[in-house]
Structure 1
Amino acid sequence: MTTNHEILEAALARITAGYVFPEQAAAIDAAIRRQLAVGAYQGLDVRELCKRVTDDLQKACPDEHLRLLWTEEPQSMDEEPEDVARARFARYARENNYGIRRVEQLDDNIGYLDLRMIAPADLGGPAIGAAMQLLATTEALVIDLRQCRGGSPEGVQLWCSYFFADDGVHLNDIYERTTEFTRQYWTLGHLAAPRYLDRPVTVLTSDLTFSGGEELAYNLKVLKRATLIGQTTRGGAHPTDRIPVAPHVTVTVPTARSINPVTGTNWEGVGVEPDLAVTPGRALKAALEHLRTRLG
């Protein structure tokens, strides 16, 4: 049986080797080791250990993606073959309709798109195109991200591309620590459905909106293509690896960071602020009122 000390040694090794800010990784390591030295984690069961260590990790470094997670089902400690991992995720994406929960025409010819996940473009492209085809004749659009917990940067790139005229819009950059390479994301030139141009768009957000959902909202806001309505989002801007360190424990390590070409920064730790702050329960009504005013 893996001891708490062994779990923490394995987790700290992964954080030190991979965390996107190396200088902060050293401080994180020191903070957890101070807690170890005073016996803070003695006598905890593994589930309690994960919660306590996650709290301490985020006190040392307020990064929502940096966590020690308990998993109910035991997991293999062997690295999962890439083709097996891809097949498992493809099945998950398909079973969740590539994140598209609802596509609807509301009164006054306002479109409504409820997104719960941002699927990778190579998996979700046909479904994303089908959704945008159904919305093509509406006069205004609500994109509901209130329950969108994240997803793929390539998926965000594809969704954003539908709201700009061509492939000339620089959306985001992602810097990876391990390679020290910065990848640029621009709007795409070829799409499977008509672009949604010259019509008002609102995006609904909540304090559950996270990661890839936040990037979609942030990109559309800073490029002045949408009005955000709802709550400030949760604040996670760092692409993350999930690494088993015990049969029931996974450490999540942010290994990259977003750099927006307009703001030069991202939403990590602060979230994406709405243009109009309302409770999540009132956000759809407020968005429809806003759009009807715009439509005249």
Structure 2
Amino acid sequence: MAKYLALPTSFEHAFTTVGKWVYTLFLFTKSDIKTTIIPVSFFALAASPNLNFGSTPEAVIWLWIHLLQFNVSNQTMDPEEDELNKRDRPLPSGRISLKSARALRWALVPLCFMVSILYSLEVLYASIAMVASTIVYNELGAHNQWLIRNLLNGFGVASFEAGTTLVTSSNRHYLDSTAIISIGLSSFLFATTIQAQDFKDIDGDAMIGRKTLPIVYPKFARYTVIVPLLLWSASLWYIWKLDAFLASAFLGLAAYTGYRYLALTTVKQDRVSYYWYNLWLSMANALPGYYRYIHQ
């Protein structure tokens, strides 16, 4: 039986134990490095009205702590799901007990607030919004219904982006109109396309009774990826005033990603398609930076 993490029993074991804890925390967020950390970091660097590039590491740490808060909460809700297809996560791999994970989940809430208030009240507000949406999404069970789930995902992303963008700015009390519009667009974009992540998880979701779009409407759901991707790409082309080359590349990436979801439909292929979706999402999140650099 795998040994659960515990406090070090002797000084010589301290560093080893700390290393195990750090790696365990990383494993809670490993799968979302590509889906959250990278796209939101790109977004913050692009949308920040007064970018302080030296604050990027702080912004990534702020984002990671809040992602950790969400993921620990999420992974303690239905641990049996991860037993099926995500066995490297801390709970199914036996690196931490469910009781300890739940204690960690609530300990992270004041940590998020304390880290945020070091920057500004506005960053704290973003943190509170993220924590509140986490509770509604996970503890109150909103993640089990696809429409509410998508809307809350959009709200959560807006909270991530607002806080991270503020931390990257030299003025951590203020977001200009471009940043605010960018957050609104990104939130709506995410809410209308995030079903792209559900195809690869269909077996685990079905096992616990979660009603995701691919489960409720299996054939129709695949069209809900390609159509929004193309519509959003065309809309962002117009909104951010892209040149012909960049617009063509962006639309081409959307078309290829959408095609994969329609034509390549095994779970293994859906995992690869989800990487392409995240590449498209990262590009979409970087477009406000193009607009600032070229048109402002």
Select the structure that is richer in helix.
2
Select the structure that is richer in strand.
1
| Interval containing the TM-score (normalised by the shorter chain) | under 0.3
TM-score by length of 1: 0.26
TM-score by length of 2: 0.26
